[in-house]
Amino acid sequence: MTLTLPWVGMEGVLLAGVRIAAFLVIAPPFSHRAIPGTVKAMLALAVGMLVAPRARGAADPTDAGAFVGQLLLQVVVGIALGFLVWLVFTAVQSAGAVIDLFGGFQLAQAYDPMSMTSGAQFARLYQLTAVVLLFVSDGYQLVITGLVRTFDVLPLGMPLNLAAMAAVSGKGVTAMFLAALQVAGPLVVVLFLADVGLGLLTRVAPALNAFALGFPLKILLTLLLAGGAFLALPALVSSLTGNAMTALMGVAR
């Protein structure tokens, strides 16, 4: 009995699966440690089989060296694409980090083994909320759709356009800071005005030692006003999902 394997089709599945697996390790929400590695591997294989017809093989099936080189290339491409998505969604955690910094919660910073990042309460709360919103709103499906479309604009065997990658990364960093300030900006202004008011009160009546009340007052204001910033997260995550797809398409220009 002779068993013939369609090596050309298997080659496409393997190369596509490697790119997808590298992407899932980096890109949110799949990069979260709460998602088992087995699930990521099965998802990468399943999506790789679906995109195999459009993913053209890039290496000679008889040349093992060329095939290994293509595998490494797909790992690099997957990591680069995942980094772009991670950079977009980092705006949510950055907004929480800004609130922690100005609200006095940064003193309680701790390492989160689930996300492998260090952050205080609001940074971790915002990050977990973004992950939940991506799954609840089916935003993760748009992320997967954007990844699948990269096989059309960036087929197997085509290297990354480093100039486009640098341009998209630069725009992503700018958009990250802008989105973080849009969410946390109003609260930061209120906390800054509270500091100014305490400073003026100390100048007028030094005996009151108004700065001794600074931390409790800022924490109270943060807890009272953080709800407004928290309510903006669904719209922010929806906008960031669209930005992530735009970033994925931009690397092939």
At 158, which helix (H) or strand (E)? none
Which sign, positive or negative, has the C-alpha torsion 245, 248, 250, 253? negative
DSSP 159: P
CB-based burial label for 111 (10 Å; 0-12, 13-18, 19+): exposed
What local confidence, expressed as pLDDT, does residue 169 receive?
A: 79
What local confidence, expressed as pLDDT, does residue 94 receive?
A: 82
pLDDT in tens, 212-241: 777 777 778 888 877 777 777 888 788 888
For the entire predicted model, the pTM comes to 0.78
Between 57 and 122, the more confident residue is: 122
Cβ atoms of 112 and 215 closer than 8 Å: no
Overall size of the chain counted in residues: 253
What local confidence, expressed as pLDDT, does residue 34 receive?
A: 77
Rg value, the chain, Cα: 23
Gap between the Cα atoms of 134 and 143, Å rounded? 9
